[in-house]
Amino acid sequence: MKINFVTSKDATFVELIDGSLTSFVETSKGSVLRIGVGKKEEVNRRALVTLARKVIRTALTYRLTHIAINLKDFHFKGIEISDHDLGRVLGENFEMAHYEFHVYKTPPKEGFPEIKNLSVLDTSKDAQKGFKVGQLIGQEINFCRDLANTPGGDMTPSILAKKATEQLKGTSAAVKILSLAEIKKLKMGLVLGVAKGSIEEPKFIIAEYWGAGKASTKKPIVLVGKGITFDTGGINLKPSDALMGMNHDMAGGASVIATLAIVAKLKLKKNVVALVPAVENAVSGSAYRPGDILTSMSGKTVEIFNTDAEGRLILGDALTYAERYNPSFVIDVATLTGAALVALGKRASAILTRDLELENTLRTLGEESGEYVWPLPLWKEYEADVKGIHGDLANASTSSARTSGGTINGGI
């Protein structure tokens, strides 16, 4: 989708109206798509994000190829926002809403719905700059979605590593992919343990961006993403209905790769490192077993209570590796676990941290971006639940109430 800032005679104009109805009408001035926004005076930042997406999804429903909006229509009384930030929010969410994953589908005769051109009228230079930033962010988010949506057979650890390298090519980010031999040399016993059951060798993806200068006193932010390219559950095999969608178990890894690409392409004056342990959790005669005790890169031993609690294992080695950067802070992003859905549903992601300042920052950013997060406790009292019997730690709760607090146990 191309976003431009000139009037197009062929474009259908999008008009935002009070109420909830949507209609397509022909007027003396041309075609108009009217979209109800509820009460305009009640539109807040949250509603702006969903409205931007609604505009694109509605236009696609009508199979419109050229649409036009007036930026002034998106300046609502209940929102204090600069032209630049408004352009960024709209550009990002327009791109996201235009996304469809139909790589494996045969196109219909009329083609897939696609908006080729979106004209934005009455803009300032700041707004136009914001749109360009937002569109880049949206495109990288869609790249992340492509990685996560690709079937596990076509998104192995090696392919994920290749995709990360390709996406960062042409930027000043440096990418290094650790091989199986290098992972063994680093004694990443948790990564190696999970990888044992698969014929696909693990990879450890390292992407570094030194926008503030490597010699700078600014400590880097380290992003760690779970990269389980397919999760069978291992010997603790998942039930059949839970296996579908397990290609998405590397969404955390995809997220941090895309985030680093955004930072590098925007040339931000920040030092950021992305780490992704990429592994397939398969079941086979060589797979790790319940009761096995693995030695982590840190030297701590971990007793395996459940082979389907593998994400926290590979993240453990990755977090140990992150220590060498002496980071200002570390954020790990992971599909960890299904218990988070039980706790929070699909409207928010769980956030676990003992840093209240960071928690508040992430919650604020979540409100602004539409990616909502909600805190769960990470109290020391929970540590007793993952204390090992024959090892230092356990990879799942050892308490009698093993089904409770699953996300918290994973975070601990």
Nearest to residue 75, comparing CAs of 55, 35, 45, 53? 45
Under DSSP, the state recorded for 306 is -
313: CB partners within 8 A, 6+ apart = 190, 191, 193, 194, 294, 302, 395
Give the integer Cα–Cα distance in Å for 206 and 222: 10
- Tell me how far CA of residue 282 lies from CA of 4, 219, 234, 408, in angstroms: 47, 37, 5, 25
Judge contact between 204 and 191, C-beta under 8 A.
yes
196 assigned to active site = no
Catalytic residue among 196, 203, 226, 312: 312
Active-site residue flag, 324: no
Measured CA angle at 391 (ends 280, 402), to 5 deg: 70
CB 335 within 8 A of CB 245: no
Cα–Cα distance measured from residue 409 to residue 412, given in angstroms and rounded to the nearest whole number: 5
Alpha-carbon distance values, 250 to 146, 167, 270, 278, 358 (Å): 11, 16, 25, 8, 24
Residue with tokens 């096995």: 292
Task: Spot the catalytic one: 132, 162, 238, 387.
Answer: 238
Q: Classify 122 in phi/psi space as left (phi over 0), alpha (psi -120 to 50) or beta.
A: left
Contacts 24+ apart (CB under 8 A), 16-24: 16/40, 16/51, 16/73, 16/74, 22/58, 24/62
Q: Is the Cβ–Cβ distance between 189 and 294 less than 8 Å? A: yes
Contact of 276 with 251, CB cutoff 8 Å: no
Region for 173 from its dihedrals, namely left if φ exceeds 0, alpha if ψ lies in -120 to 50, beta otherwise:
beta
**Catalytically annotated residues:** 238, 312
